[in-house]
Chains A and B, each alone.
Chain A
Amino acid sequence: MSEPFEPKIIAFVCTYCTYAGADLAGTSRLKYAPNVRIIRLPCTGRISPMFILKALQKGADGVLISGCHPGDCHFTHGNYHARRRWMVFRALLEFIGIPPERVKYSWISAAEGVKFAEFINKVTEDIRKLGPFEQYTQLIEETEAAASL
């Protein structure tokens, strides 16, 4: 029991801002928690709520969504559309009982390597405290017992 819980975190990011910001964290040799796995999309507009559900199915204890700040979208409006979707989807997840701490949204620009590293560290720490997402794991296990996923 001495081993600390290492959460699994999956991030969906846009290539123009947050992915570049994550690269900058790397080129700046910043250090952050190794729990996050990044999936690169062209734009936050491409990030479907389905991705979040699939990440949870894959056993993610936390999901991150991040892209360009409002006004900075390479595709001019993709992040504005994304923001509306998130707003709605977030309310839905909350109502269904998925704690908002487990799905986090942020704007991280290509210049914000530090913000990226800090964001990953903070979320990893928060989710570590929250513990594994047992309720969702239970859904997966029940299903796997009966059918193949």
Chain B
Amino acid sequence: MKRPSTLTAYAFLYLVFLYLPVLFLPLFSFNSGTIVAFPIKGWTLDWYRKLGEQDTLIQALWNSLGVGTVVAILSTAMGLFAARAFVRYRFRGQRAAEGLVMLPLVIPGIIVASSMLVLFLFLGLKPSLLTVVLGHTFLALPFSVSILKSAFDDFDASLEEASYDLGVGVFETFRRVTLPVVSPGIIASMLVTFTVSFDEFVLAFFLSGNQPTLPVYIWSQIRFPAKLPNVLALGSILLLTSVLLLVLAEYFRRRSSASEVR
């Protein structure tokens, strides 16, 4: 066996750099002291217990769950059609259209947030959960389009042609052949877009008005040192949820590449 190279050592150090900061949140969420510093005073689950007693937090959680669900459905539905168009058909301006859909990824957040706030007020929409949904759907679309594009990429076009050849119509074919084959991709897209919305802060900060989502609630708590342990406990739960959702999404995305039609 070869001696591990400097490059391999560097790779492992880099992983430590990536994970260590994130892992401090859960670590200190079990700390009985209120100051986030070593040495750890003692271990406790109190901070987690106290989370359930806070009404504004529970309300913010429901807000985030609702927004995330609607965003997941909206962006995945639009992404599904767009991805199919981009993979299966060739048309003029296709590259431009694909580029346009990816644009939300590279516009600075503050500019998206401020300009959408201006637009929605111009259109007479008061900042609320509805405007957050509209904004988050915009941000989530590139993710659903790229996930579903790879789902359609792995999907053999001749399966649909075989279905037409056997006398089945366009909609029936979509329902009986296309949908089942790309459904893992759809699930992956829903999970990812939900997570994007659930974790997003800047847009929600600008657009949520007096209906805070969970990250906006956390932001309001960060300023008070006394609330810190609460934020840590809440943050740890969110971290765990996001990672679980993403691992699940990855599992479905893999399945979409390897799936067979039954």
Please indicate whether A and B come from the same complex rather than being unrelated chains: no
- A residues bordering B, Cβ < 8 Å? none
- B residues bordering A, Cβ < 8 Å? none
